[in-house]
Amino acid sequence: MKNHIFICMFCLCLAGCATVETSYTKTVPLDQDDGLGGTGIEATDIRTVSRKMAESILNVPQIMNAQGSPIIALLPVKNSTRFIINKDIFTKKIRIQLNQNAQGKMTFLARDRIDDILKERQSKRDGLVGSSKSVDLKGVDFYLTGELMGLSKANQGDRSDYISMSFQLIDAETSEIIWENEYEVKRVGTSGVVYQ
């Protein structure tokens, strides 16, 4: 019995000495640094890039002076950085900014959903759902796309990352780049932050 009591007391002492790690969650304003560090693309970069690119696109003569609403489709963004990132977040945020502020000056096509659109269209034509009227799919006037490029270096736990985020509006008929803009950021810090 004494051994049993001794073992229980010993276990209680160990439990009392153990470090208790608590977890927490807090809401941080989107344009505020999260304090975690790191040298990669941050939420503030994504928000700033989308605003600046949308404002810049609205001033392109082919958009400003267009008769009607030019039709734009998004092409995937190429990620040539060392960071794993949902690269389509950039074009989606730019599209949202433009849709909110362009006041009908442009129209976006959901080409990333084309398979679903074609199925629904066929179901309508077959009389299985909704209307059976025939409407042609719209063609694209411009493509919006971009590329993320980076230059990274590290030395004994310290890291430096330069990241260029460039975007283009491409004429679908001629392949001319009618607009292009870039946002750059360079950060230096310690390694160890994991971007996902």
CATH code at 157? 3.40.50
CA distance linking residue 166 with residue 163, whole number of Å? 10
Query: Residue 134: inside a domain, yes or no?
Result: no
Q: Which ranges of the chain does DSSP label H, i.e. alpha helix?
A: 2-17, 43-58, 61-64, 88-101, 114-125
Q: Which residues contact 90 (CB under 8 A, 6 or more apart)?
A: 46, 49, 50, 77, 146, 148, 165, 167
Q: In this predicted structure, what is the pLDDT of residue 85?
A: 87
User: Mapping DSSP to helix (H, G, I), strand (E, B) and coil, where does residue 155 land?
Assistant: strand
Q: What is the pTM of this model?
A: 0.74
Per the domain annotation, does 173 fall within a domain? yes
Neighbours of 90 (CB within 10 A): 27
d(C-alpha 123, C-alpha 116), whole Å: 11
Please identify which residue in the block is written with the tokens 């009607």: 68
Asked whether the predicted pLDDT for residue 30 surpasses 70, the reply is yes
Residue 120 lies in a domain: yes
Instruction: Say yes or no to pLDDT of 193 above 80.
Output: no
Q: What mean pLDDT comes out for the span 67-73?
A: 91
Task: Say if 55 falls within a structural domain.
Answer: yes
Distances (CA, A) of 15 to 9, 11, 23, 56, 178: 10, 6, 19, 60, 67
Q: What's the whole-number average pLDDT of the chain?
A: 83
Find the mean pLDDT for residues 71-99. 91
Q: Residue 136 domain-assigned?
A: no
Report pLDDT digits (tens) over 35-69: 677 788 888 899 999 999 999 999 999 998 999 89
Cα–Cα distance, 185 to 174 (Å, whole number): 32
Comparing 160 with 195, the larger pLDDT belongs to 160
Comparing 75-79, 80-84, 188-192, the range with the smallest average pLDDT is 188-192
- Nearest to 162, CA basis, from 196, 193, 188: 188
CA 152 to chain centre: 21
b/e burial code for range 6-40 (CB count within 10 A of at least 16 → b): eeeeeeeeeeeeeeeeeeeeeeeeeeeeeeeebbb
147 belongs to a structural domain = yes
pLDDT at 60: 93
Q: How many residues does the chain have?
A: 196
State which residues form the domain around 173: 37-126+141-190
Q: Would 87 be classed as within a structural domain?
A: yes
Rounded Cα–Cα distance for residues 73 and 158 (Å): 40
- How many distinct structural domains can be found in the chain? 1
Answer yes or no: is 15 within a domain: no
